[in-house]
Amino acid sequence: MTSKDKNTMDSQKRDKHIDAVGNLLRDLGENPDREGLLKTPARFIDSMTFLTKGYKTSPEEILKKAIFHEDYQEMVIVRDIEVYSLCEHHLLPFYGRCHIGYIPNGRVVGLSKLPRVVDAFARRLQVQERLSNQISQAIQEHLKPLGVGVVIEAYHLCMMMRGVEKQSSYTLTSSMEGVFRNAETRSEFLSLIRPRSHN
């Protein structure tokens, strides 16, 4: 983590939060002054600051920096974008893959901007359903394609480590905008993002 990341919170607030984490460790039965935990509260605060940096990131600015006029009206798909986020209910991670498809309407966006938009929303306290909607709606609003499809497959540690403790289950969500709400377009998109055969 860079010093720039740590400096996104003023020192007075940071110190207050570090003290709170130390008190929590103490209440859990630990000794926050022992060697292994001495810097843990500060590391935790710095980690949370990094993992929620999406609140300070503008998806609109990301997309506007790389929009190009192009006469292309077939589906564009970026598959297997890694997703790491925090469940807002338990502050435990969920992680997986995001697939994005869109059909241009005279404009395309630089391919690297789509994973950046995913990160801008994923690096917040989230639920997977809302994350899917936010990604598709941002692309639809700022790129103005004929339509957008977003599918996220994710494993949730709040289900795997606690609660029902089902390690093999994962959650699949989708969000469709514009022509992707048509059965034919949706079907084409879903068939193209299916796992590829390695045979």
Active-site entry in 70, 89, 141, 167: 89
Contacts of 12 (CB under 8 A, 6+ apart): none
Contact 145, 104 (CB under 8 A): yes
pTM above 0.95, yes or no: no
Cβ atoms within 10 Å of 175's Cβ, excluding its own? 21
pLDDT attached to residue 8: 62
- pLDDT tens profile 27-38: 999 999 999 999
- pLDDT tens profile 85-128: 999 999 999 999 999 999 999 999 999 999 999 999 999 999 99
Active-site entry in 60, 88, 129, 141: 88
Q: Return left, alpha or beta for 144; rule: phi > 0 is left, psi -120 to 50 is alpha, else beta.
A: left
- pLDDT at 9 exceeding the cut of 90: no
Active-site entry in 98, 99, 126, 128: 128
pLDDT attached to residue 3: 43
pLDDT attached to residue 6: 46
Whether residue 89 lies in the annotated active site: yes
- pLDDT tens profile 126-144: 999 999 999 999 999 999 9
- pLDDT tens profile 143-182: 999 999 999 999 999 988 887 767 778 999 999 999 999 9
User: Domains of the chain (ranges plus CATH)?
Assistant: 3-51 (1.10.286), 58-192 (3.30.1130.10)
